[in-house]
Each structure stands twice: as structure tokens, then as C-alpha cells.
Amino acid sequence: MNRFLRSSLRWTLMALCLGANSLRAHTQSDAYLTLNVAGRSLTGEWHLALRDLEDAIGLDANDDGVITWGELVSRKEAVTAYALSRLRLELNGAPTALRVTDLLVDTHSDGAYAVVRFDATGDQFPSDLKITYNAFFDIDPKHRGLFRLEQPGATRLAVFSPETATQIFDLSGAAPRTSFLTFVREGIWHIWSGYDHILFLLALLLPGVLRRREGVWQPVSAVRPALVNVLKVVTAFTLAHSITLTLAATGMVHLPTRLIESAIAASVVLAAVNNITPVFTERGWMVAFGFGLLHGFGFANALADLGLRHGQLAATLFGFNLGVEIGQLAIVAVFLPVAYSLRGLLFYRRIVLQTGSVAIMAVATTWLAERVFDFKWLPF
């Protein structure tokens, strides 16, 4: 009788189970894997649900039904070991060693995830990538790895399941035209979002509509000298940074990033000081050329972050540089008419030039300190 009762209860359980199915439930077990391939470098981020990790390796050390950050951290080695043992990457047919760089936390719509960040560096530019994904399939065949492959100018999506655990991706896929335009866009964006370049350019351009006569600034009499001044400055800056950008991008010269960034900040300070207590009055273009060399190295660092693709160096460099010029000319196109029409006013010479330069100097000095001593204070 007892046995019968038990089994009868179990039938009910199943009957209701079918009902429960109609309101089923949050997303099943998912993990989110993103790989970023740029140039020779590969970085990745893998979001693994804490509830899945708990079942796979155990996280809830004190067994109170709640996983805390402390408990996750204390299992960091187990988590990273699990992740690394369940993901195999082969670049150009050779297995790639992954290095875990960070363990963080993220919240998705269905709960908390451990975020494992990793990177890998190859000796050559990868042309194909073979991924074998094997997380949680043994404890849950319905687990899926939702995968995102990011390359400059291209994003691909794929899903790993027990049936599609191994997949191969062609990394030389993106069309050159697309990536050329991408680099032009990145060049423009780099000029506009890198405030140090804008401020440097502004510091050089501010006195462009003026002339220094007997120790005082005076407005130029016609459009022509103003245009010539600005043209000289912009051309010199362009020439200079094109030279160093090419040198750095082709690997002929390599300078440490922090040194370059600090020197760029210093160049902005000096350009601003030159407006307040002029040293180079007639030869602004020389200042532009000299410091432009520094800024070129800065552009090269930005370009390296985007990743250079094998066999596309010329197109990439040209595209990025073109973008930088377009961005620069846009700034000049806005600046010049305004400055030219205001040049006769005392307001321009006193407030815009003097106070503006002091402000630029203050900001750039702070950058310099930040970059030299490696801290962050300004929000930009």
C-alpha cells in the first residue's frame, strides 16, 4: 500500500510538471564567450553562470545557499583551471596557451556570472582560429556557449552545443575595403576623442590669426596671412606625425607608451606657454613639426590597439592617417572662421588667447602629472 501511495504521488508530480512547462522558465544554462582578435594579440572574456560553476566545481563553501564574492575569490584557481581546461584555441593549427588576467563579476538577466578574462599572444598574424568549447556539457547537455568573435570592422556570432563543440573561423575574412573605411573612421574618431591632440592643435592655432609686433599681439590685416599661418602649422604637424606613425607602425622605431603619452602632454603644456610668453612667434610651424613627431608615436599606439592585419599595412596606415587629417581639417574649418572674425577684438587677444592658453596649460599639466606618476584624476 505504502509503495502504491508513493508511486501515485509521483504521477501527480509529473502531471503538474507538464503544466509548469508552459511557464517555463528563465533561459537555460548559457555562457557568454567573447574573443577579440586584433593584430597578433587575442583577448577574451568568458561569462560563466555561478549556478553552473557551483554544480561543476562547487563554490558555496559554507553551504548556506548563497555564493558570496569571498567564496568565489577563494575558488579562483579552481574556476580558472576549469575554464582553461574547457576551452581549446588553435591559431593557424597550433594550440595557443591562454593566460588568465582577471576574475570579475557581472549580472545578466538571469543571475550572477563569473567573468574570466584571458589573453594570448601569437608569433604570427592568425589566419584561422579553431575553437573547441567543452564547458558544462557533461552536467547539462542543454548548456550553450553563446560566442562572439570581434575583429576590427567585423563581428561574428556562433553557438557552441555538444553537437557543435568544435568550430573553425576564418580570420582573414573581412573585406579590405570595409577595413580601410574602418581605419579612416577610427582616425577621425581618434583625433576627436583624444583631447590632447585637439588642445595641442588649438594652442598652435590660437595665435594663427594674430601677428606679434613689438611685444604685443595684433590682428592680421587680411585672410591670406591667417590662412598661410594655419596651413603651415597643419601641414607641418601632418608631415611630422606621418613620419613617426609610419616608423612606429612598421616596427622600425619602438618607444614605450607611457613615455610617449607623457611627452605629448608636455608638448601641449609648452605650446600653451608659448602663447603666454612667446618664444617662437613667427615659426609656429616649427613647433608643430617638432612636437608633431611625438604625436605620431601616439597615433601609432592607438593604431596598434586596433590591430594591424597582415599584408594590409599600407592601406591601414593610409586610411588611419587620412582619417586623422579629415578630423584635423574639420577642427580647423570650425576654428578659423570664428577666430578670424573675432581677431580684432581685445576679447580675443586677452580672454581667448591668454586665458584659453592658461586653461590648456592647466589641463595639460595635470595630464603630464597623471601620465608620469600613473594616476587618474581628470575624467578625460
Partner 1 sequence: MWSSACKFPSHNRNRGRGSFVAVPAARLPVFLVRHSPICLALWLTVWTCRAEPYLPKDAAQPLERLRATAFDPAQHQMRDLRAQLTREPTNAVLAEKFVRCCIDKYRTEADPRYLGRAQAALAPWWNQAAPPVELLVWRATIKQSQHEFTASLADLETALRLAPRNGQAWLTRATVLTALGDYAQARRACAPLAELAPGLLAVTAAANVTCLTGGAERGCALLRRALEGNPSAGVSEKLWALTLLAETSARLGHDAEAEIYFKDALLLGQRDPYLLGAYADYLLQEGRAAEAVRLLRDEIRADGLLLRLALAESAMTPRPSTCGAHIAALQARFEAGRMRGDFVHQREEARFRLCLLHQPEEALRLAQANWRVQRELADARILIEAARADGQPEAARPALDFVKTNKIETVDLR
Q: Is 22 in the site for partner 1 (CB under 8 A)?
A: yes
Q: Which of 236, 230, 238, 237 is nearest to 210 (CA)?
A: 230
Q: Is 119 in the site for partner 1 (CB under 8 A)?
A: no
Which one of residues 44, 83, 131, 143 is an interface residue with partner 1 (CB under 8 A)?
A: 143
Residue 319: partners with Cβ closer than 8 Å, 6 or more residues away: 179, 180, 181, 182, 183, 184, 187
Q: Is 2 in the site for partner 1 (CB under 8 A)?
A: no
Q: Is 155 in the site for partner 1 (CB under 8 A)?
A: no
The HSE-up count of residue 88 (CA atoms within 13 Å, CB side) is: 9
The string of DSSP letters for 138-154 reads TT-TT-EEEEEEEETTE
Residue 303: partners with Cβ closer than 8 Å, 6 or more residues away: 183, 186, 245, 249, 316, 317, 320
Please tell me whether residue 113 adopts helix, strand or coil conformation.
strand
Q: Is 16 in the site for partner 1 (CB under 8 A)?
A: yes
d(CA 257, CA 337): 36
- State which residue, 22 or 277, has the beta carbon closest to partner 1: 22
Q: CB under 8 A: which stretch of 61-69, 168-176, 233-241, 348-356 binds partner 1? A: 61-69
β-pair type (210-213, 144-151): unpaired
Which one of residues 29, 80, 182, 321 is an interface residue with partner 1 (CB under 8 A)?
A: 29
Q: Which of 318, 290, 320, 289 is nearest to 304 (CA)?
A: 320
> Nearest approach, Cβ of 123 to partner 1 (angstroms)?
30
Q: Is 111 in the site for partner 1 (CB under 8 A)?
A: yes
Which one of residues 40, 41, 43, 60 is an interface residue with partner 1 (CB under 8 A)?
A: 60
Q: CB under 8 A: which stretch of 47-55, 194-202, 226-234, 308-316 binds partner 1? A: 47-55
Q: CB under 8 A: which stretch of 43-51, 92-100, 232-240, 312-320 binds partner 1? A: 43-51
Q: Is 28 in the site for partner 1 (CB under 8 A)?
A: yes
Helical packing angle, 76-85 and 50-57, nearest 10°: 90
Between the alpha carbon of residue 207 and those of residues 94, 199, 295, 334, the distances in Å are 57, 13, 21, 15
Q: Is 159 in the site for partner 1 (CB under 8 A)?
A: yes
Query: What is the rounded (10 degree) CA torsion for 92, 94, 99, 103?
Result: 70
- Under 8 Å between Cβ of 136 and 143: yes
Which one of residues 2, 3, 24, 222 is an interface residue with partner 1 (CB under 8 A)?
A: 24
Q: Is 156 in the site for partner 1 (CB under 8 A)?
A: no
Q: Is 78 in the site for partner 1 (CB under 8 A)?
A: no
Q: Is 61 in the site for partner 1 (CB under 8 A)?
A: no
Q: Is 256 in the site for partner 1 (CB under 8 A)?
A: no
Q: Is 93 exposed, middle or buried (0-12, 13-18, 19+ CB in 10 A)?
A: exposed
Q: Is 139 in the site for partner 1 (CB under 8 A)?
A: yes
d(CA 310, CA 39): 8
> Nearest approach, Cβ of 117 to partner 1 (angstroms)?
8
- State which residue, 60 or 128, has the beta carbon closest to partner 1: 60
- Under 8 Å between Cβ of 113 and 106: yes
Q: Is 26 in the site for partner 1 (CB under 8 A)?
A: yes
- State which residue, 1 or 333, has the beta carbon closest to partner 1: 1
Q: CB under 8 A: which stretch of 54-62, 256-264, 324-332, 365-373 binds partner 1? A: 54-62
Give residues in contact with partner 1 (CB under 8 A): 4-5, 7-30, 45, 47, 50-52, 54-55, 60, 64-70, 72-73, 104-112, 115, 117, 138-144, 146, 157, 159, 161
